[in-house]
Amino acid sequence: MSKLKDTGVLLREDFDAGPTNLDEIEPGLWLGNLTAATDKETLQAHGISHILTVDSCSLPNNITEQPGMVTKFIKVTDTSQEDLLSILDSAVSFIISSLENGVLLVHCYFGVSRSAAVVIAYLMQKYKISFESAFEKAKEKRRFVGPNSGFQSQLKLYHTMGWKIDPTNPQYKLFRLHCAAYHVSKARILPTAFLDLVQPDPALIRAQPEPLVYRCRKCRRIVASASNMLPHIPKESPKWTDPRLTELMQCAGKGGIKTPQPPDTAGDNSVSVPPACQETYFVEPLGWMTEVTHQQQGKLNCPKCVTKLGSFSWIMGCQCPCGAKVSPAFYLVPSKVEWSNFVQNVQVTV
């Protein structure tokens, strides 16, 4: 049973994760629970010199301060909404360096979901295999590994991105927007960790301006580039787990949403993607949208002539006229903007 210390503060040593259990997934790579990570005799018996903690609390000092012990703590909660992808590069790098220099234990609370997900990501990258193959490989050594459903979906995306984080991947963009919306619902502002989601103002001077842009219909100020568009299929709410997003967004980037490209059927195995919806233009949050970082919802006015171009909502999202529910949503009304396939003069934002 957990006991609260006299200080009234709940500490790591107040928890009981059950009997010690750990399994060797690969030579020198152990996966186990919190009890194993805090049992000095167990650590010594298996020659463990490195510990990776993937949990909500770090290990107690009597473990982390042991002579010769190298530890790393990555804070992760075991919920399907948790952003696992953002910590995978760091976690996998630590696993690789630890195995080069000693024996590693990766653990969370029970050694079932969070730590298992990180070990599976390592196996995926090492062997260049799918989530399913890596999951089975880990399960052969530790039968009760079971990352939660959200982690499983993220690991499948990790495979899609080539076993690394690709910030330009359309599915990853939408995934991070969903993560940000979850945190905005709690904090009421956009956390610092997600400020990079606000893309540069497309009207700013840049070395290689994009040729495909959307302008305010009244003053012709550039308000979005084709690469900023987040298109969706009519009547279908976009989901970051949908692999069709990549092809859909590539079509938007090539010719704008108003001129969608037909799917290439020249003997390939790609999934046929319908033309994007043209009822509403959904975009990434952009630099000129000054309120998106500190408001949950609001209007989007042209930064030059102040004409209302659309609205945004982190939490409630927007119901597109086609029937699709998009959330979070940053949208421009098609009648308020016009698409241009060239840049006459590179602008300086007002």
Do the Cβ atoms of 4 and 11 come closer than 8 Å?
Answer: no
d(CA 123, CA 102): 18
Residue type at 261 in one-letter notation: Q
Q: Are strands 50-55 and 104-107 parallel, antiparallel or unpaired?
A: parallel
What is the distance between the alpha carbons of residues 43 and 105, in angstroms, rounded to a whole number?
9
Residues 321 and 327: beta-carbon distance below 8 Å: no
Report CA dihedral (190, 195, 197, 202) to the nearest 10 degrees.
120
Length of the chain: 350
The amino acid at 117 = A
Q: Which of 57, 108, 251, 322 is catalytic?
A: 108
What does the block give as tokens for 67? 């002579």
**Residues whose CB is less than 8 angstroms from the CB of residue 178 and which lie 6 or more positions away in sequence, other chains included:** 240, 328
Cβ within 8 Å of residue 90, ≥6 positions away? 74
Sign of the C-alpha dihedral, residues 166, 80, 155, 116? positive
Q: Is 179 a catalytic residue?
A: no
Report the catalytic residues.
108
